[in-house]
Amino acid sequence: MSVGVKGRRYPDIVRNPHCLAGVIRPAELLEVGFGERDGWGQVEKTVVIEAENSGVLQHYSVGGTEPYLDIHDAPVCEYVSNGAGFSLGQDYYKGYDSYGLWPDGPGDLTEITDLFGAATHWQACETGDEDTSYVEEEGADWKRDLFTCVEDVSYPGPGYPVRGVTVIARAKGGLWAFEEDLPFTETSVLYFSPIIGDEVYIIDRGTNFWKYNLVTRVYTQLASPAYTAENVYRTLAVSPDGTKLACITKGGAIYDDIIGARIEFYNIAGNTWSASSPAPYGVGQPLGQWGGLKSIVWADNDTIWAWCVVAGTSTGFGKCIKYVLSTDTWTVYASATPDQGSGGFQARCAAIKSDSSVVFGGHFNFGDRYCKYTIATDTYTFAFLTPGGGNENFVWTYDKDKLWYAKTDQNYRLGYLDVDAEAQTYPASFPANLDQEAGYWTFYSGISDDATNVISYCHSTNPKLQSYGVQSPQTAVATLLKTHGIVYEGDAVEVTDAYAYYQKEYRNNPYTGSLWTEAEVAALQIGVELKRSLQDHWTRCTNVYALVEYYFPYGEDWFDIWRAGLVFDPSSIPVGATIISAILSLYGQGDTSDTDFDVVLVSGADLADTLVAADYGDLLAVTTSMGSFNTSSLVLEGWNSITLSATALAALQAAINAANKIRFGLRSSRDIDGISPQLGGEDFYQEFAGFYGSDISGKKPKLAVVYQA
C-alpha cells in the first residue's frame, strides 16, 4: 500500500497548511490519514478473498428423451457438487450404438494365401489370441483380400438409421529383414565384423570367410584363413583405419589344448591373411587345463589388447595382454584377475577408452558383469550393468568403444555400454527382432559404428541372417470396402513391429455420398491389403472387421447444461467501508468449446451456501450480467478475470454492510439465451469450459476488492 497524494514526492520536511505547528515529517502522514484518492481522511486498501465454496449444478437428459428446453428450464438438476472444480456451459450428444460385421466367406479378391482360413480365429484375437491366428504376406507388392460378412448381432431395423461404417484391421510389420540364404554350410556358429558402409564380413569356426553387401544382397567369397577355430570366439575386429580385420584362431595342432593361441589378420585390399606368433599366456598348461585368447580390441592401427584366460577344473582367472603388430611381440603384465570359477572368464567382447587408458571386457562369471583393466596401474576392477538381475547378457560383437549386450526379458533387444562415459544406452536405436529363433537371438551380431544398423545370426535354417537399418523396410496396411461394385481403399499406413489397429470411417456410402441404407450394409464386402517394400519383409494381420453404427430412434438426444455458484465471505472488509472496484479471477482447467461463449457472472442471491439441486432452477431467471469474459481468450492453467459491474459492486457493498456472505452465479451466455448446442446436425457438440474450485490451494476462485475505510 502507498501513502500520500498520488504523483507527489515529499521532501524531508513538509509544510501542512492545516497544522498550526507548521511542519510534519513524512512518517507522520499515516497518522493524520492521508489517502491515495481523496488526500484526506480515507485510506484505499486492497484485499483478496478466496472462495469459501464453489460448486457445479448439472442437469442432463434422462434416457435421452428430454428436449433441450426441458433440460434448460428444469427447476432442479440431476447432479450437484460442492467444493470441487466446476464446468460451465452446455453440450449435445446424439445417441447411437453399433454392431460388428465379421468375415463370413471369401469375397471378390483372394490374393493373400489362406487369409480367410484364419477368419475363425479373428474374433478370438480381440482377447489376445494372436500367436495362432495371424497370417502374413511376403509379396513384394500390395496383396488384397475381400470377404463377405455376417453380423454379430441383428440390425435393429429401419427405425435406426445407419450413422456410418468403419473398417478396422489389426496388423504389424517385420522391421528386421531376412537376408539371402547363406551360400555355405557354417561350422558351428557365425561371427561378424562391424557393418562398414553397406558391407559386413562373416566368418565361422572353420575356414569359411565371406563378404556380404546388404544393399545388393550379394555374397562374395574371400580367401580362407590359415587356421580353424574350434571353441574360439572369432568376432572380427576392424582396425581404426579400416584396412585390416583381426580375429582369434586356434593356431595349429601343437596348441590343441589352448582355445585361442594366435591372432590372424586379414588385409582387406590384398585379400590376404597373416598370423601372429602364439600368445605366451596359456601355452604349456598341464593336460586337462586349457587357456588362451578370448576377445581383442585395437588401441591403434598397430596395437591390440587381448583378454586371455587360464582355466581348468578349479581355476578361471586371466589378464589383459598386449600385442604389437609391427614387431610381432606380446607383452604380459604381472597382475591377473581374481579367480572367476571354471568357465566363468568368458570375456565375450572387448572395448577400450578413446585415450587408451582402460580396457573393458564383457561377461565375467555373470552375463551382466564386466571387467576394467587400467593399463597404467596394471589393476582390475569389476562392475555390473544396471538394473541387473541377470537379464542382461554381453554378446559377441566388436565395437571399439562399446560393449554390447542383449536383454533376455525384452526379446533379446540390444543395448550397449559406452566405455568412455561408462554409461548405458538401452534400448539401442533398432527394435527387438521378434522372429529370431530360440537359442540364436542377437548374441552374434555385426553393428555399424554409429549404432544404427545391425545384422545377426538368427536362425538354424535358411534364411539364417536378419538385419535392420541398412534398408528401412516399409511394411504397410490399408483397409478395403466394396460397395456398388467399387473397391474403396483406406489410407495406407506404415506399420511398426507392435500390433495396432488401423481403420477407415465412412460416415456416408462413398458411392452415393448419402447415408447408408440397410441393404447397402447387408451387401458390402470388407477386407485388407498388406504390403512389404523389400524382399523377405512381411506384414501380419490378425483381425479384419467392421463396426456399423446406428442412431437411436428419433428423440433420443442427450443434453447437458452446467451452471455454477460461488460463495465468498467478505468479513475481512470492515462494515462501512466504501467499495471502489472488484475483480473475480477464475483459474482455467479445461476448454472443450466447439463454439466460444461468454462466461457470465450473475447474481447468486438465492443460492445456498452449500449448493442444492434447486439452485439450478434459481439461476434460470437470473440473466443480468455482472461482468463476463469470452472463452476465445480463456487461459488454461492461469487466471481469467471478470471486472465486476456497478450492479455487482452494489450487491457486494450491501453484503458487507449487513455482515453477510456474498453469492454469485456463473452461466454460459448461450445458456442464458436458451440456444441449444445442437447445431448443423453434428452427433456430438460441446461448448463448455472448466475451472479449478475451492478445494485446490493457490487456484481457488478469488475476489480482489479495492475499498476505502
Q: What is the pLDDT of residues 149-207, one digit of tens each?
A: 878 776 676 677 888 999 998 887 767 888 899 999 999 999 999 999 999 999 999 99
The reply to whether 409 falls in a domain is no
The pTM assigned to this predicted structure is 0.58
E strand or H helix that includes residue 58? strand 53-60
Judged against a pLDDT cut of 80, whether residue 559 lies above it is answered with yes
pLDDT band at 528 (very low <50, low <70, confident <90, very high): confident
Q: What's the mean pLDDT in 353-378?
A: 94
What pLDDT, on a 0 to 100 scale, did the predictor assign at position 281? 62
Beta strands in 25-161 (DSSP E): 44-50, 53-60, 79-82, 86-94, 96-110, 135-137, 143-151
Beta-strand relationship, 476-483 and 454-457: unpaired
Question: 581 in the Ramachandran plot: left (φ > 0), alpha (ψ -120 to 50) or beta?
Answer: beta
pLDDT band at 28 (very low <50, low <70, confident <90, very high): very low
Judged against a pLDDT cut of 50, whether residue 348 lies above it is answered with yes
Q: What's the mean pLDDT in 570-585?
A: 95
E strand or H helix that includes residue 705? strand 702-708
Domain harbouring 365, CATH code? 2.120.10.80
What pLDDT, on a 0 to 100 scale, did the predictor assign at position 341? 67
- Structure-derived torsion over alpha carbons of residues 504, 508, 509, 514, reported in degrees to the nearest 10: -170
What pLDDT, on a 0 to 100 scale, did the predictor assign at position 564? 96
Same structural domain, 594 and 531: no
Same structural domain, 537 and 565: no
Q: Mean pLDDT, the chain, as a whole number?
A: 83
**Least confident range of 33-37, 255-259, 538-542:** 33-37
The reply to whether 444 falls in a domain is no
What pLDDT, on a 0 to 100 scale, did the predictor assign at position 494? 82
The reply to whether 16 falls in a domain is yes
Same structural domain, 690 and 624: yes
Of residues 402 and 35, the one with the higher pLDDT is: 402
Beta-strand relationship, 454-457 and 445-447: antiparallel
Judged against a pLDDT cut of 90, whether residue 62 lies above it is answered with no
**What CA–CA distance (Å, rounded) separates 42 from 576?**
12
Task: Please list the residues that pair with 445 across neighbouring strands.
Answer: 456
E strand or H helix that includes residue 352? strand 345-352
The reply to whether 214 falls in a domain is yes
Number of neighbouring beta carbons within 10 Å of residue 523: 13
Judged against a pLDDT cut of 80, whether residue 133 lies above it is answered with no
Per the structure, the count of domains in the chain is 4
**What CA–CA distance (Å, rounded) separates 519 from 387?**
60
Of residues 476 and 5, the one with the higher pLDDT is: 476
Q: Single out the residue in 401, 419, 453 at which a domain terminates.
A: 401
Judged against a pLDDT cut of 60, whether residue 33 lies above it is answered with no
Same structural domain, 196 and 318: yes
Q: Which residue reads 443434453 in cell numbers?
A: 559
Q: What is the pLDDT of residues 200-230, one digit of tens each?
A: 999 999 999 999 999 999 999 999 999 999 8
What pLDDT, on a 0 to 100 scale, did the predictor assign at position 75? 93
The reply to whether 435 falls in a domain is no
Is the bond preceding residue 427 a cis peptide, omega within 30 degrees?
yes
Same structural domain, 206 and 239: yes
- Contact by Cβ (8 Å): 444, 466: no
Same structural domain, 530 and 673: no
Q: What is the pLDDT of residues 264-295, one digit of tens each?
A: 999 999 999 999 998 886 544 443 445 689 99
Q: Is 281 helix (H, G, I), strand (E, B) or coil?
A: coil
Where is mean pLDDT largest: 275-289, 300-314, 386-400?
A: 386-400
Judged against a pLDDT cut of 90, whether residue 403 lies above it is answered with yes
Q: What is the pLDDT of residues 635-682, one digit of tens each?
A: 999 999 999 999 999 999 999 999 999 999 999 999 999 998 865 556
Task: Please list the residues that pair with 693 across neighbouring strands.
Answer: none
Q: Single out the residue in 357, 378, 401 at which a domain terminates.
A: 401
Query: Which amino acid does the sequence have at 384?
Result: F
Same structural domain, 13 and 102: no
- Structure-derived torsion over alpha carbons of residues 457, 458, 464, 467, reported in degrees to the nearest 10: -70
Judged against a pLDDT cut of 90, whether residue 483 lies above it is answered with yes
What pLDDT, on a 0 to 100 scale, did the predictor assign at position 682? 64
**What CA–CA distance (Å, rounded) separates 245 from 268?**
7
Per-residue 3-state assignment (H helix, E strand, C coil) for 453-522: CEEEECCCCCCCEEEECCCCCCCEEEEEEEECCEEEECCCEECCCCCEEEEEEECCCCCCCCCCCHHHHH
**Least confident range of 33-47, 110-124, 361-375, 580-594:** 110-124
pLDDT band at 410 (very low <50, low <70, confident <90, very high): confident
Same structural domain, 88 and 208: no
Name the residue range of residue 540's domain: 96-175+473-551
Domain harbouring 528, CATH code? 2.60.120
Select from 351, 234, 377, 243 the least CA-distant residue to 302.
243
Q: What percent of the chain has pLDDT over 70?
A: 81
pLDDT band at 530 (very low <50, low <70, confident <90, very high): confident
Question: 564 in the Ramachandran plot: left (φ > 0), alpha (ψ -120 to 50) or beta?
Answer: beta
Residues 6 or more apart in contact with residue 141 via CB below 8 angstroms: 531
**What CA–CA distance (Å, rounded) separates 122 from 130?**
9
**What CA–CA distance (Å, rounded) separates 554 from 681?**
13
Same structural domain, 197 and 288: yes
Residues 6 or more apart in contact with residue 573 via CB below 8 angstroms: 47, 579, 656, 705, 707, 709
Q: What's the mean pLDDT in 575-581?
A: 94
**What CA–CA distance (Å, rounded) separates 350 from 306?**
8
Q: Single out the residue in 401, 434, 463 at which a domain terminates.
A: 401
Q: What's the Cα-to-Cα distance from 648 to each of 146, 374, 569, 643, rounded to whole Å?
A: 67, 79, 15, 9
- Contact by Cβ (8 Å): 173, 473: yes
Same structural domain, 517 and 583: no
Q: What's the mean pLDDT in 111-123?
A: 47
pLDDT band at 122 (very low <50, low <70, confident <90, very high): very low
Same structural domain, 105 and 77: no
Sheet holding 379-384, edge to edge: 345-352, 358-364, 366-374, 379-384
Reported as half-sphere exposure (CB side, CA atoms, 13 A), residue 371 has a value of 30
What pLDDT, on a 0 to 100 scale, did the predictor assign at position 168? 92
What pLDDT, on a 0 to 100 scale, did the predictor assign at position 364? 87
- Structure-derived torsion over alpha carbons of residues 11, 12, 13, 18, reported in degrees to the nearest 10: 60
E strand or H helix that includes residue 70? helix 68-72
Judged against a pLDDT cut of 50, whether residue 7 lies above it is answered with no
Same structural domain, 194 and 339: yes
**Least confident range of 94-108, 283-297, 516-530, 574-588:** 283-297
Per-residue 3-state assignment (H helix, E strand, C coil) for 598-661: EEEEEECCCCCCCCCCHHHHHHHCCCCCCCEEEHHHCCCCCEEEEECCHHHHHHHHHHHHCCCC
The reply to whether 457 falls in a domain is no
Q: What percent of the chain has pLDDT over 90?
A: 54
The reply to whether 127 falls in a domain is yes
Judged against a pLDDT cut of 90, whether residue 142 lies above it is answered with no
- Contact by Cβ (8 Å): 352, 330: no
Where is mean pLDDT largest: 93-102, 405-414, 439-448, 606-615?
A: 606-615
- Contact by Cβ (8 Å): 569, 50: no
Select from 403, 359, 357, 407 the least CA-distant residue to 387.
407
The reply to whether 366 falls in a domain is yes
**Least confident range of 233-247, 498-512, 596-610:** 498-512
**What CA–CA distance (Å, rounded) separates 607 from 660?**
13
Beta-strand relationship, 96-110 and 539-551: antiparallel
